[in-house]
Amino acid sequence: MNEHIIPDASSLHGWRKSTYSGNEGGSCIEVLDGYPTGVPVRDSKAPQGPALVFPSAGWTSFLSAVKDGTLPG
C-alpha cells in the first residue's frame, strides 16, 4: 500500500470537519488527528473513498498560509 494514500478512509475512526463547515451537507474535507505518518484528509461526501496523507509539517504550513492569507491564488 502506498503510504500517502489510504484506499478506504472509512476504516479509520475519529474524522473531524472544520469548525467553519456548516450543516448544509456541502463540500467539505475531514481530517484525522493522531495518525502516525502524517495527516489524512478525505472528502466528507465520500467517506468510503480514499484519503490522502500529507506530511505533518506540510499540513501545518498549508493551514498557516490559509489562515494568514498568503496562500497563492
Single out the residue of 66, 23, 32 nearest to residue 52, CA to CA: 32
CB 31 within 8 A of CB 60: no
pLDDT for residue 5 is more than 90:
yes
- The residue type at 73: G
pLDDT for residue 6 is more than 90:
yes
Model's pTM, two decimal places? 0.81
Q: Higher pLDDT residue, 23 or 39?
A: 39
Q: Higher pLDDT residue, 36 or 18?
A: 36
pLDDT for residue 36 is more than 70:
yes
pLDDT for residue 25 is more than 90:
no
Residue 41 CB contacts under 8 Å (≥ 6 apart), including other chains = 29, 30, 31, 51, 52, 53, 54, 59
